[in-house]
Structure 1
Amino acid sequence: MKDMVQFGIRIRDLRKMNNYSLRELGERSGVSYSFINSIENNRFSPSRETVIALADALRIAEKDELLLLAGFAPTEEESLDGLSGEGLDEVDDPDVSLFFKDFKNAPKERRDEMLRFWNFIKEQQQNRTPDSQQ
């Protein structure tokens, strides 16, 4: 389930935190400033590529948050981005897919809880040393 109102609010907040005008964010992301305005005002839903372009332009490390708010599950590559260790290129876990399927169908309160959990897991993985146990 998409939460486009929250997505638009989050984009506007991030844009303002970076002190970007609509035009400046448009130039940095390659997305039309009028389309960004429409996203912020909940008139249009962005594509996955647009969400990623905006996240990159806003210099947000956690693209997952924006992807999830826009109704897209991060790919395994995006989800594992920034992690270190052996075998990450070969991760094939159906439980990860199930997690995002459940997320998509969950009510807002549950999605918020699941997002906090997902971010906690990613943070723990980033703080792991290669020789530590899981």
Structure 2
Amino acid sequence: MTTTAASPGELLRGWRTRRRRSQMDLALDVGVSTRHLSFVETGRSRASRELLLDLADHLEVPLRERNTLLLAAGFAPTYRESTLDSAGLDAVRGVLGHLLSGHEPFPALVLDRTGDVVMTNRAVAPLLAGLDPAWTTPPVNVYRLSLHPDGLAPRIRNLEQWSGHLLHRLERLTDLTGDARLASLLAEVRGYAPPGAPPRRSEHVVLPLHLDHPDGELNLYSTITHFGAAWDVTLDELSIETFVPADAATRERLTRAVS
């Protein structure tokens, strides 16, 4: 069975619908007529490379999907995709390593779009002490690790709150990117979440995580940082998750674990 690739107009219409923008609203922002935008979406007019990039920018299309849009229109991709260990990202890798080590003795990790761990500092391993080694063998996915009943889930005291946050985060990312990999992961981990824990936005500025640990309970706060003005698909999809102690006992336990 063969599938027909989406046209650039279909992709644009999909992104405009996903972002809940009307043709008139988007056309005014970009500086073209609503008629021309309509013709582009239906394939009656061929958009220039510049117009496609302008539309993608106003629709906040992720870099990976901008490349897909350009390819569908017959243009070469604009944004490169490097591996994090490539020479072109030496400086970025160095900065990430510096940020992670500078956050010690508290845990910090770098994640890709799907939640796979690509870098950690020394404080992450003690946090996972006592887990089956299979859960710490790459690739480690934070959604599976946190929500699977054989992973961290039995240790998380506020599991309903934490799972609701993770599901909301993954659901929102799936909607923002349209990435089929995320949709598949979301369907999988929904089956791990405790009953009665629907996706929901956290009411806290920083999210609490209460974790049972062999050394005693750890009370942490979690924050997520994203790159701004990324020029590379890989960088555009990276995020840094950091944890800080919520009380003096947790601070002491984390400090002792890394010393």
Question: Structure 2 length normalisation: TM-score?
Answer: 0.30
**Deviation, structure 1 residue 31:** 2.7
1:86 matches 2:115: no
Aligned to 1:73: 76
More strand by share: 2
How far apart are the structure 1 equivalents of 2:49 and 2:19? 22
How far apart are the structure 1 equivalents of 2:57 and 2:236? 22
For structure 2, list consecutive stretches of 5 or more residues without a partner in the other structure: 93-232, 239-259
**Deviation, structure 1 residue 33:** 1.7
Determine if contact 1:22/1:36 at 8 Å carries over to the other structure: yes
Aligned to 1:48: 49
**Deviation, structure 1 residue 52:** 0.3
More helix by share: 1
Identical pairs, percent: 30
Matched ranges for 1:106-125 at <5 A: 122-123=233-234
The number of residue pairs the alignment matches comes to 92
How far apart are the structure 2 equivalents of 1:52 and 1:85? 24
C-alpha root-mean-square deviation of aligned residues, in Å? 3.5
Aligned to 2:60: 59
Aligned to 2:22: 21
For structure 1, list consecutive stretches of 5 or more residues without a partner in the other structure: 89-121, 128-134
Letter in 1 for 2:58: A
Q: Which has the higher contact order (CA 8 A, sep 6+)?
A: 1
**Deviation, structure 1 residue 86:** 3.3
Given the superposition, is the C-alpha separation of residues 125 and 23 from structure 1 closer, same or farther in structure 2, using an over 3 Å criterion?
Answer: closer
Question: Structure 1 length normalisation: TM-score?
Answer: 0.55
Determine if contact 2:26/2:58 at 8 Å carries over to the other structure: yes
Determine if contact 2:81/2:234 at 8 Å carries over to the other structure: no
How far apart are the structure 2 equivalents of 1:70 and 1:4? 11
